Protein backbone atom coordinates (compact mmCIF):
# COMPACT_ATOMS: atom_id res chain seq x y z
CA UNK A 1 0.00 0.00 0.00
CA UNK A 2 2.91 2.34 0.51
CA UNK A 3 3.75 2.00 -3.17
CA UNK A 4 0.28 3.27 -4.10
CA UNK A 5 0.78 6.30 -1.83
CA UNK A 6 4.18 6.87 -3.45
CA UNK A 7 2.59 6.72 -6.90
CA UNK A 8 0.20 9.50 -5.93
CA UNK A 9 3.05 11.63 -4.58
CA UNK A 10 5.10 10.93 -7.72
CA UNK A 11 2.21 12.08 -9.91
CA UNK A 12 2.05 15.36 -8.00
CA UNK A 13 5.82 15.76 -8.27
CA UNK A 14 5.80 15.12 -12.02
CA UNK A 15 3.02 17.67 -12.57
CA UNK A 16 4.29 20.37 -10.23
CA UNK A 17 8.02 19.85 -10.60
CA UNK A 18 8.53 19.15 -6.90
CA UNK A 19 7.04 16.91 -4.24
CA UNK A 20 4.47 18.24 -1.78
CA UNK A 21 5.91 19.90 1.32
CA UNK A 22 9.37 20.20 -0.23
CA UNK A 23 9.90 23.59 1.37
CA UNK A 24 9.13 22.37 4.90
CA UNK A 25 11.70 21.00 7.30
CA UNK A 26 11.70 17.16 7.04
CA UNK A 27 10.16 16.56 10.48
CA UNK A 28 7.47 19.18 9.87
CA UNK A 29 6.66 17.60 6.51
CA UNK A 30 6.40 14.15 8.11
CA UNK A 31 4.13 15.53 10.84
CA UNK A 32 1.94 17.26 8.28
CA UNK A 33 1.56 14.05 6.27
CA UNK A 34 0.83 11.96 9.38
CA UNK A 35 -1.58 14.33 11.10
CA UNK A 36 -3.43 16.10 8.32
CA UNK A 37 -5.31 15.23 5.19
CA UNK A 38 -3.27 14.10 2.17
CA UNK A 39 -1.76 16.76 -0.08
CA UNK A 40 -4.35 18.65 -2.06
CA UNK A 41 -4.38 18.39 -5.82
CA UNK A 42 -5.50 21.42 -7.76
CA UNK A 43 -5.03 22.63 -11.27
CA UNK A 44 -4.98 19.09 -12.69
CA UNK A 45 -7.57 17.52 -14.96
CA UNK A 46 -10.52 15.99 -13.13
CA UNK A 47 -9.42 12.46 -14.11
CA UNK A 48 -5.85 13.00 -12.87
CA UNK A 49 -7.07 14.66 -9.67
CA UNK A 50 -9.37 11.72 -8.98
CA UNK A 51 -6.61 9.20 -9.78
CA UNK A 52 -4.23 10.92 -7.35
CA UNK A 53 -6.85 11.26 -4.62
CA UNK A 54 -7.54 7.51 -4.86
CA UNK A 55 -3.81 6.87 -4.39
CA UNK A 56 -3.60 9.19 -1.39
CA UNK A 57 -6.45 7.95 0.78
CA UNK A 58 -5.33 8.36 4.39
CA UNK A 59 -6.68 4.98 5.44
CA UNK A 60 -4.66 2.33 3.55
CA UNK A 61 -7.69 0.04 3.41
CA UNK A 62 -9.51 2.76 1.45
CA UNK A 63 -6.67 3.28 -1.04
CA UNK A 64 -7.26 1.80 -4.45
CA UNK A 65 -5.34 -1.32 -5.40
CA UNK A 66 -3.09 -1.57 -8.43
CA UNK A 67 -5.79 -3.54 -10.22
CA UNK A 68 -8.37 -0.82 -9.52
CA UNK A 69 -6.00 1.94 -10.61
CA UNK A 70 -5.31 0.17 -13.90
CA UNK A 71 -9.05 0.40 -14.61
CA UNK A 72 -9.21 4.11 -13.76
CA UNK A 73 -10.24 6.37 -16.68
CA UNK A 74 -7.01 8.36 -16.36
CA UNK A 75 -5.06 5.21 -17.23
CA UNK A 76 -7.46 3.61 -19.69
CA UNK A 77 -7.81 6.79 -21.76
CA UNK A 78 -4.11 6.60 -22.64
CA UNK A 79 -4.23 2.88 -23.33
CA UNK A 80 -2.20 1.65 -20.36
CA UNK A 81 -4.90 -0.11 -18.38
CA UNK A 82 -6.40 -3.53 -18.90
CA UNK A 83 -9.39 -3.35 -21.21
Number of separate domains in the chain:
1
Residue 82 lies in a domain: no
Range of the domain at 31: 2-76
Query: Secondary structure of 15-83 in the HEC alphabet?
Result: HHCCCCCCCCCHHHHHHHHHHCCCCCCCCCCHHHHHHHHHHCCCCHHHCCCHHHHHCCHHHHCCCCCCC
Q: What is the pLDDT along the chain (83 residues), one digit of tens a residue?
A: 569 999 999 999 999 999 888 999 989 988 888 888 888 778 889 999 999 999 999 889 999 999 999 999 999 988 766 65
Do the domain assignments include residue 83? no
Q: Is residue 15 part of a domain?
A: yes
Q: How far apart are CA 60 and CA 32, in angstroms?
A: 17
Report if residue 81 sits inside a domain: no
Q: Return contacts of 16-20, CB within 8 angstroms, 24+ apart.
A: none
Report the SS3 class of residue 13.
helix
Q: Does some domain include residue 38? A: yes
Residue 61 sits in a domain of what CATH number?
A: 1.10.510.10
pTM to 2 decimals? 0.82
Amino acid sequence: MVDIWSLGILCIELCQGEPPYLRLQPLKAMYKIASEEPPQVSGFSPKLSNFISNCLKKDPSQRWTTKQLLQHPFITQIGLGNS
